[in-house]
Amino acid sequence: MTSRVRVHAAHIVGVVIVALASAGCGSQATDGDGGARIVTMTAGLTETVFALGLGDRVVGKDLSSTLKAAADLPVVTSGHDVSAESVLALRPTLVLVDEDTGPTEALEQIAAAGVTVTTIEKAVTIEEIVPRLLAVADVLGVAERGRAVAERIETDLTSIEWPTADRPVVSFLYLRGTASVYLLGGPGAGPDSLIGAAGATDGGIAAGLDQPFTPLTPEALVAAAPDILLVTTTGLESVGGLEGMLTLAGVAQTPAGQARRVIAIEDGLLFSFGPRTPGLIASLHDEMLRLMGAAA
């Protein structure tokens, strides 16, 4: 194996907000390095450490880590930037990061203080969830437990088939209204993997996009013709909710916009690709079925 180390529903407005509890992400360890003090720098890494039973070793997290079991842990990032001072104040022995964690200067400062900084290759597809989990388990000295957790995840990640031949088209919109950033997801964006696993067709891929994200235009949305729009909860909030989203380029003209079929997922959960992801896929499938059934 290649090393990877280095609903709250509101029918009135047509929005379904999907959230999951911390199922499968326990916090108590029975073995491993009992002296470790761990800081996790992505939502997926946080979920993985908790799922391995080492949540009580975690002393800090990044802003994206919204796992309920980790709610009381101090946040050591400002936006997406690591604060070396905040990390070092927690006296960690291990900091888990991925290749997008930064700035580099902050990580170098942490390492220079004698703290082990370990890079785990990020996961952006469901196929990468288990390899990352096994890599983290190896680093933490709980390889056997990692294999047991991996088996459960693989069982939960069984294919979900749409009950009819007509799979709905679902498009992911990345929205940051405060920065005027409006993007249509395509291959490699991350949500495309979840949409496919939930039994639907990704609108960006079906429209022929060849990049993870493409600027949102009426032409791009017409080509995608989504039956359902998928967004993050903060993205939806940033444009003023559903009514604000319907004013964006071409959204109101799509089948999804006309029928007001929108699913909003909490950011940290949507992009975590961790142990909670199988439950997210099942919930996403159920919500898509319900929305399309209501439209039939």
- Per residue in 37-65, pLDDT tens? 999 999 999 999 999 999 999 999 999 99
Q: Say how many C-beta atoms besides its own lie within 10 A of residue 104's C-beta.
A: 9
- Per residue in 211-254, pLDDT tens? 999 999 999 998 999 999 999 999 999 999 999 999 998 999 99
Q: How confident is the model at residue 20 (pLDDT cuts 50, 70, 90)?
A: low
Model pLDDT, residue 7? 31
Within the chain, residue ranges assigned H as helices are 43-51, 84-88, 104-112, 129-140, 143-156, 191-197, 203-206, 218-224, 233-238, 241-245, 255-259, 267-270, 277-295
Residue spans in the chain of domains classed CATH 3.40.50.1980: 21-156, 169-295
Higher-scoring residue by pLDDT: 25, 198: 198
Burial code (b: 16+ CB inside 10 Å, e: under 16) for 109-128 equals bbeeeebebbbbbbbbebeb
Mean pLDDT of 110-119: 96
User: What is the architecture, at CATH level 2, of domain 21-156?
Assistant: 3-Layer(aba) Sandwich (3.40)
Model pLDDT, residue 79? 80
Distance CA 49, CA 30 (A): 13
Q: Tell me the percentage of the chain whose pLDDT exceeds 90.
A: 80
- Per residue in 53-101, pLDDT tens? 999 999 999 999 989 999 999 999 998 899 999 999 999 999 999 999 9
Model pLDDT, residue 62? 96
Q: What is the pTM of this model?
A: 0.85
The hierarchical CATH code for the domain 169-295 is 3.40.50.1980
